[in-house]
Structure formats: structure tokens, C-alpha cells
């Protein structure tokens, strides 16, 4: 891969690569922050682009992913599942086999390397369920950074095990008691910390979201998923897949898988949001089904908000998809028609969680179960000679207690 040109999106011949220099993907993205943060973001943008042009930086990134995280992750043919569905061949990109159990470590390694290069000594991060907090605490331990993770006090209560993990790894977990005491409030608090401490501190944002250059940078790091999948599918089947499916929280595992295929018109792409209990306000996190364009936490994108611009509450059985906005690049490709979006509700995701466990001996994260559920729907409508890749973004060990509680509850009511 070659420097600058490899960073940017190729939108087909004759059009400019995205994002533009101010971080816009068409009308989405940008950099809506205070003046203090603006200079930190400009600095980060310059440092990232310079680092990524250097083959030594990319080489170190690749080597750490190999030795420490276990990349490349396998592309696995799910034979039993394919037989049971009776349609397209289902392949799973095994991001669940990464160190710490999900794709998030890849972005954390990339940003930690960059922060070290920039001479920062401290990392801060936001976390909802705790997965990104654990990934950040992990790289902080590995590279020797001080680390503080902001987490809503409501989430701290619900995710005690991940809180313990972060502390064990040597990080400080800072409760946020503002607003709804969840992810959105943790991001606001992390941005506030950063504006006081930019000299020493890097804000390690966990998804392809927020002000420029975060969406570009996170997508660039996570594109290793799609680059590997492309190579693996070509070597196994001698051709490109017909469809890609990924779940969408902020959008990093989805854009990471999709981006290297953006210019392959035969490859269809499906981003799957959390449909929760129903598509009515407060019951879901399907931004493209129930949202409208607005500015939230530094970026212009689709947001779940009421007509006055108040952010709506969200709900999903999976904490990692439970957020009121979505990455700006996905908003752009949604409006351009390149990527299709749909949603899967709590019940269907729970069913897919069990189906994959039973047929393949793989327990998926509840987030990934949304992609699995949609992939199964899709496979049944496609002929046997077609190929689907489902991004298995994470493993489900973290979810088994919650799933067993939900299934017991269901049995009680049926």
C-alpha cells in the first residue's frame, strides 16, 4: 500500500478522493469543536498523514498486529450454517479471534503508535460497554502510557467485569455522572479532558466517528480487515465476494471491511443497525431508519434527535450498537447509494446468537449477531454459487450472562 493515496477513498475515476482536506465526505463530517481542540486536531491530522506515508510506521503497525493481536484473522467457510440456510456460501471474517476479543484492538494499536510518535505520555478514552476501554487500557499497558477511561456511571454498574479488567491493566476508570450517564456523556467528558490536557494527552477515540481526522484515521487502521478479506477470498475462491455484511455502531468494523471493496461495483454492502424493541423513538439505535442530519460531538451526520434537536434515548440488546449517531463516511455512502442499510431487532439478534453457536461452535458478540442475522436472511435469498462475507466483529463471552438472563425472561413470559 502506498502512502497518501492509500489513505483516501477512491470514489471512482474522475472524482476527488474523500474526505477533503477539512474532513468532509460530501456534506458529512467536518470538525465542529472549540478553538483549543481545533489546534490539537490539526496537529493530529498532520502527524497521522505524515506517519502513514512512512513505510516504517506501517510496517511496525503490521508487525504488532501480527505478534500481539494474531493477525491476519482467518476467513472461515461456515459449512454447516450454509447447508442449513440452503443458499449462498457464508464466510465469516473472524475478528472475534483478535487479542481482547474484537476488532477494536487494531485501532487502539494504531493510535497508540501515533501518540508515542507525537511524544504524548497519556491516553484518554471513552467507553460504553467497556470493550473500547479494555482495548485502550491494553495498549496503554503494552506501550507504557498513563491511561484514564471515561465511562458513564450507569455503564460502570452494568459492566463491572470490564471495569475490573481496565483496572487490572493499570488504567483509571473515571465515572461520568452527567446526562444519561452513558456513552454519549463519556465522550463529552473525554473531549473536555482533552481540551485541558492536549500537550501531554492523546484522545484515543474508539470508532470511525467524531471530528476530523478521527473518521479517516480509524477507517485507515481498520481497513486491514477488508484488505485481508479481499486477499483471502481471492486466494480461496479465485473471485470477489458478492456481498459483505457488518453491524454498525459508530461504524468502524463496517467501514474497515467495506472500504477496500468500494470500487468493486459487483460487491454489494450491507450495514446493519440495532432495531432494538421497535423503530419508535427511544426503542432502537437505527440512525438511518429514524434519524435526521445534525451535528453531534464534532461531526455532521445522521443523528437520532427530536424536531428541536434534542438527542433521543436509544436502546439495543447490544451495548456496542447503542448510540445516537453514526460515522460520517457511512452517512455519505448511504446517501450515495453505495452501501445499503437495514436493521435487525433484539429478538432476531438473540436468535442468530444461538444459531451460530449451535451450528458452528462459535459464540458471537451480540453486536456481531445483528450482522449474522441479516447475513442469514440474505443467504436464503441468494443462489448457492454466491459468496457472502459476514464480519464477525467480536466474540460473545462477554454477553453470555446477559443472554442467559434474557432467555430465561422469555421462557417466563411465553
User: Where do contacts with ligand PLP occur on this chain (CB under 6 A)?
Assistant: 102, 104, 131, 207, 247-254, 320-321, 365, 367-368, 393-394
- Decide: 286 and 310 in contact? Cβ < 8 Å: no
307's grid cell? 424536531
How far is 1 from 53, CA to CA, in rounded Å? 10
292 tagged catalytic: no
In the chain, the largest separation of any two C-alpha atoms, in whole Å, equals: 60
Question: Least distance from C-beta 86 to ligand PLP, angstroms?
Answer: 27
Alpha helices in 173-264 (DSSP H): 183-197, 214-222, 224-237, 252-258
Q: Which entry of 126, 189, 348, 367 is annotated as an active-site residue? A: 126
Q: Which residues pair with 247 in a beta bridge?
A: 272
CA-CA-CA-CA dihedral for 131, 132, 138, 139, to nearest 10: 160
**Which residue's CB is nearer to ligand PLP, number 104 or number 181?**
104
**Which residue's CB is nearer to ligand PLP, number 276 or number 394?**
394
Q: Which entry of 104, 120, 181, 184 is annotated as an active-site residue? A: 104
60's grid cell? 511496525
**Which residue's CB is nearer to ligand PLP, number 9 or number 252?**
252
126 tagged catalytic: yes
User: In sequence order, what are the residues at sequence separation of 6 or more whose Cβ sits closer than 8 angstroms to the Cβ of residue 215?
Assistant: 19, 23, 25, 29, 208, 209, 299, 327, 328, 329
- Decide: 329 and 19 in contact? Cβ < 8 Å: yes
**Which residue's CB is nearer to ligand PLP, number 19 or number 249?**
249
Give the number of other CB atoms < 10 A from CB of residue 42: 13
Pairing of strands 75-77, 89-94: antiparallel
Question: Least distance from C-beta 123 to ligand PLP, angstroms?
Answer: 17
Residue nearest to ligand PLP (CB): 394
Question: Least distance from C-beta 183 to ligand PLP, angstroms?
Answer: 10
Question: Least distance from C-beta 48 to ligand PLP, angstroms?
Answer: 18
393 tagged catalytic: yes
Question: Least distance from C-beta 104 to ligand PLP, angstroms?
Answer: 6
Q: Which entry of 9, 324, 368, 393 is annotated as an active-site residue? A: 393
Q: Which residues are catalytic?
A: 104, 126, 393
Amino acid at each position: 500500500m502506498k502512502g497518501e493515496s492509500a489513505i483516501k477513498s477512491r470514489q471512482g475515476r474522475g472524482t476527488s478522493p474523500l474526505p477533503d482536506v477539512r474532513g468532509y465526505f460530501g456534506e458529512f463530517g467536518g470538525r465542529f469543536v472549540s478553538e483549543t481542540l481545533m489546534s490539537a486536531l490539526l496537529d493530529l491530522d498532520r502527524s497521522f498523514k505524515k506517519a502513514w506515508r512512512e513505510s516504517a510506521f506501517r510496517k511496525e503497525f503490521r508487525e504488532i498486529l501480527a505478534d500481539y493481536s494474531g493477525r491476519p484473522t482467518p476467513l472461515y467457510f461456515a459449512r454447516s450454517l450454509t447447508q442449513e440456510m440452503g443458499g449462498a456460501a457464508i464466510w465469516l471474517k473472524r475478528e472475534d479471534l483478535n487479542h481482547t476479543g474484537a476488532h477494536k484492538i487494531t485501532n487502539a494499536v494504531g493510535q497508540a503508535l501515533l501518540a508515542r510518535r507525537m511524544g504524548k505520555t497519556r491516553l484518554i478514552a471513552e467507553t460504553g460497554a467497556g470493550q473500547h476501554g479494555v482495548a485502550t487500557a491494553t495498549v496503554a499497558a503494552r506501550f507504557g502510557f498513563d491511561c484514564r477511561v471515561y465511562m458513564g456511571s450507569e455503564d460502570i454498574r452494568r459492566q463491572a467485569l470490564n471495569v475490573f479488567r481496565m483496572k487490572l491493566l493499570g488504567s483509571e476508570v473515571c465515572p461520568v455522572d452527567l446526562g444519561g450517564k452513558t456513552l454519549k456523556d463519556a465522550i463529552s467528558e473525554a473531549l473536555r479532558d482533552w481540551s485541558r490536557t492536549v500537550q501531554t494527552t492523546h484522545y484515543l477515540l474508539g470508532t470511525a466517528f467524531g471530528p476530523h481526522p478521527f473518521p479517516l484515521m480509524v477507517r485507515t487502521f481498520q481497513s486491514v480487515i477488508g484488505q485481508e478479506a479481499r486477499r483471502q477470498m481471492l486466494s480461496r475462491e479465485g473471485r470477489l465476494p458478492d456481498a459483505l455484511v457488518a453491524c454498525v455502531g459508530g461504524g468502524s468494523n463496517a467501514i474497515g471491511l467495506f472500504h477496500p471493496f468500494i470500487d468493486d461495483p459487483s460487491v454489494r454492502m450491507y450495514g446493519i443497525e440495532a432495531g432494538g424493541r421497535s423503530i419508535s423513538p427511544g426503542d432502537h439505535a437505527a440512525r438511518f431508519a429514524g434519524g435526521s442530519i445534525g451535528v453531534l460531538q464534532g461531526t455532521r451526520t445522521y443523528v437520532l434527535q427530536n424536531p428541536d434537536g434534542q438527542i433521543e434515548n436509544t436502546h439495543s440488546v447490544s451495548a456496542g450498537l447503542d448510540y445516537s449517531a453514526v460515522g460520517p463516511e457511512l452517512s455519505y455512502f448511504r446517501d450515495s447509494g453505495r452501501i445499503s442499510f437495514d436493521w435487525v431487532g433484539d429478538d432476531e439478534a438473540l436468535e442468530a446468537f444461538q444459531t451460530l453457536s449451535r451450528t458452528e461452535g462459535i459464540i458471537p458478540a451480540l453486536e456481531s449477531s445483528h450482522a449474522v442475522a441479516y447475513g442469514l436472511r440474505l443467504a436464503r435469498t441468494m443462489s448457492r454459487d454466491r459468496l457472502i462475507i459476514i464480519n464477525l466483529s467480536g466474540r460473545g463471552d462477554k454477553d453470555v450472562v446477559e443472554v442467559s438472563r434474557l432467555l430465561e425472561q422469555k421462557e417466563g413470559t411465553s
